[in-house]
Structure 1
Amino acid sequence: MMPSRDKIFSRIRHNLGRGPLAEEAVNALKARIEGHVPHTIPKRTDIAHKEQVDLFQAKAEALAATVARISSLDDVPEALRDYLTAHNLATRIKMSPDPALDNLPFNMTPMLEINRGAAAPEDEVSLTPAFAGIAETGTLCMASSAETPSTLNFLPENHVVVIKASQISGSLEDSWARLRQKYGAGNLPRTVNFISGPSRTADIEQTLIMGAHGPRRLHILIVDDGPQD
């Protein structure tokens, strides 16, 4: 039995009046797909890594995200507490079950209630790791998995993201290269979300509304994990 995917493509070719592709064309397409030739990369990202991290922060803040720089993962609980206090937010946190966050010293901040798993409608604050950061646009790359549920990126109104400086690079193309390197070409996560600032829309009468399709606030904690140049 022909797989559904092949049936769909077969019908498209039929409706376009095209038969099967010649072997030469098939090989050319396969080489292009497997070659992963990068698209245009902005010149502004061709800078030292430290400057890329600074550019990422500047771009993220220009998109209404807030950013704090911390020296190690051990500083995450206190930085999170300070952020919640500054905005008078709930101290109940839904945290990603990613092992990267397993050893955060929340014993130093006993007022924070940490629960782990996918987000539920009642969750107000989420804490997640990022897969990568894109300096050219101040964008976070988030890869879905059982340890990093996508619901944490969208359901809570306040999203706090932890990213190491070493995970930040210049361009969008870099993030795709990292994904292929980790998961293997053709075996990417079920979803890859690119997040640039908190959710917003101005579709109705050009009035800017925050949190229309996701968090009202996005706070990024950049962990300085050493020089990369």
Structure 2
Amino acid sequence: MSASTREAVLGRIRRSNGARPNDPERKRVVEARLAGAPVGIVPQRGQLPHDEQVALFIRMAERANASIARIAGYDALPDEVSRWLRENNFPADLRMSEDPRLSGADFGETSLTIRHGVSDGEDLNGLSHAEAAIAETGTLVLVSGPENPTSLNFLPENHIVVVRAGNIGGDMEAVFPMLRERYGKGEMPRSLNFITGPSRSGDIEQTLLLGAHGPRALHIVIVD
């Protein structure tokens, strides 16, 4: 759309609303709305004590066909990743993100072949770190950036995602304040991915196909 066409469309909208260009009162209302980030109606299902939010997240994620493990700290992550890959007969090969929170996980003691960074589309197993999670739907929240390439969320056949228990919120509305606190208002990551269970699709006969648009398997590791 050209600038002149866009201005013509916006001009018609203003006239239909009885507004005038650069109306200071309307600008004030818009700026207040953006600055305040008001919260809408929030469902009650996720309004629980935090331990119960974590339990709800686990139930909902498992219902979406994800598997779950809980570990005490990042030092236990390499053993958990190795166990999950081994028990599912997946290759001992892993493409992982360079998130600094994973620096406490020493994969050097495992038999895994480790690569870092962006997936080239040939990786069978990927490891990412989620920014947060949503209890009411069992959803992981992952942001884009050099530390956690978005390609790791969609290209590997099997996806392992780490999330801190403390970053599990009751609902979607609880996630955005977490992101603003970390990145600052107006500095959000370019992409925000919400992932609930492994990728799947159903045709007109409702035949479920896993891995249609992304990983076939999703394993979530909660770090207490």
Both structures adopt the same fold (TM-score exceeding 0.5): yes
Q: Which string of whole-angstrom CA distances, capped at 9 and with x for unpartnered residues, describes residues 138-189 of structure 1? A: 1111011111100000000100011111111111011111111111112210
* Cα 1:166–1:17 shift into 2, 3 Å: closer
1:26: which partner in 2?
27
Structure 2 residue 168 is matched with structure 1 residue 168: yes
CA 1:87/1:35 → structure 2, altered by over 3 Å: closer, same or farther?
same
Q: How many angstroms does 1:9 deviate by?
A: 4.7
Which residue of structure 1 lines up, in the alignment, with residue 153 of structure 2? 153
Partner residue of 1:227? Answer: none
Partner of 1:192: 192
Distance of aligned partners of 1:5 and 1:117 in 2 relative to their CA distance in 1, 3 Å threshold = farther
Going from structure 1 to structure 2, the CA distance change for 1:112 and 1:185 (only over 3 Å counts) comes to same
Q: 2:6 & 2:102 partners in 1: Cα distance? A: 43
Change in 2 beyond 3 A, CA 1:108/1:140: same
SS in 2 for 1:156: coil
Scaled by the length of structure 2, the TM-score of the pair is 0.92
Matches of 2:3 and 2:180 in 1, distance apart?
A: 25
5+ residue gaps in structure 2? none
Aligned residues: 220
Q: Aligned AA for 1:76?
A: L
Deviation at 1:72, TM superposition (A): 1.2
Opposite residue 118 of structure 2, the aligned amino acid is A
Aligned counterparts of 1:29 and 1:177: Cα–Cα separation in 2: 20
Query: C-alpha separation between the residues in 1 aligned to 2:112 and 2:26?
Result: 59
Deviations 1:111-157 (CA, angstroms, capped at 9, x unpaired): 11111001111101001111001111111110111111000000001
* 1:101-180 aligned within 5 A: 101-109=102-110, 111-180=111-180
Q: How does 1:1-229 map to 2 (within 5 A)?
A: 9-16=6-13, 18=15, 19-20=20-21, 22-109=23-110, 111-224=111-224
Give the CA RMSD over aligned residues.
Answer: 1.8
* Cα distance change, pair 217–11 in 1 and its aligned pair in 2 (3 A): farther
TM-score (norm. length: structure 1):
0.90
Please give the alpha-carbon distance, in whole angstroms, between the structure 2 residues aligned to 1:127 and 1:188. 22
Which deviates more, 116-125 or 32-41?
32-41
Contact in 1 for aligned 2:98/2:117 (Cα 8 Å): yes
Distance 2:201 2:155 in 1: 16
The CA deviation at 1:204 is: 4.3
**8 Å contact kept, 2:14–2:21:** no
CA–CA distance in structure 1, aligned partners of residues 222 and 60 of structure 2: 14
